[in-house]
Chain A
Amino acid sequence: MVSEETPASLAGQVTSKDPAVGLQAVVALRRLLEELERLHVDNARDRGWTWQSIATALQISRQSVHEKHAGRRKATGKES
């Protein structure tokens, strides 16, 4: 389905005036962003990065990144 679409039709969907279409795309993107953050935070921690260095790279506070990911990593046995 994607391969049949021209760049012009893609741009049309991205900027669709139908709120349902536009908002659905925003949610889908947010979920991708969250998944990529999780993936790369895990990779950084596995490579020995400190929470502070991850926070600096993500341009958020150490507390935010720790709150969001530390518990999950503990719960899944990825760190103690």
Chain B
Amino acid sequence: MFEYFTDRARQAVVASQDEALALGHDFIGTEHLLLGLAGTIDSTAGEVLRDHGVEVERARTETVRLLTAAGVVATGGRPATDALATLGIDVAEIQKRADENFGPGAFTYPRPAYTPGAQVVLRQTVQEAQSRGREHMGTEHMLLGLLAGGEGAALDVLAALEVETTALRTSILDRIDRQDR
């Protein structure tokens, strides 16, 4: 699916995974997709978010605050690594050798997986693009996809930042209109 994403949208997806890893979260949720979009500053979604006061640092702070309050612990993937340790598998050793042989980053364990909510957003991203006759999914479609669900951690973060999601949606649609003209 990601092969049909624009360069900027791919960049946002990669940034989402980086956000999850940096925050020690063993999952990529809608909140990480939002951070990825906000952090891709020279993209349509990044610009619209910034216009609405969503800067990546503030959004990240709110994300951490909300997740911590919800009891989500930043484990850094420790439970998965510990579970393998009980089987006698030393992840640190595999990591070290993989880095030596294939370069850093080739092996990432545990690689954060998309939550069901984030998977829905990605599917909606495709729909938002296709319903507008687009072959490629841009960051604007990702942001529309994020807003389409009507719930999820990303929307909680936007609410905490006092962002009016209806106005946000209108701004994206305006941008798309102008691009089409």
Contact = CB atoms under 8 A, between A and B. Distances in A.
B2 A25 contact: no
Interface residues of B, number: 28
A24 B3 contact: no
Nearest to A16: B86
A32 B106 CA distance: 13
A43 interface: yes
B151 interface: no
A74 B89 CA distance: 32
A57 interface: no
Interface string B71-111: 00000000111111111111100000010001000111111
Contact of A2 (B3, B80, B85, B106): B85
Contacts of A21: 86
Contacts of B5: 75
Q: Which 6 A-B pairs have the closest CB atoms?
A: A75-B2, A28-B83, A13-B86, A74-B3, A28-B80, A71-B3
Interface of A: 1-2, 5, 7, 10, 13-14, 21, 24-25, 27-29, 31-32, 34-36, 39, 42-43, 70-72, 74-76
Given A1-B82, A35-B109, A71-B3, 6 more contacts: A25-B86, A29-B89, A31-B80, A35-B110, A39-B107, A70-B3
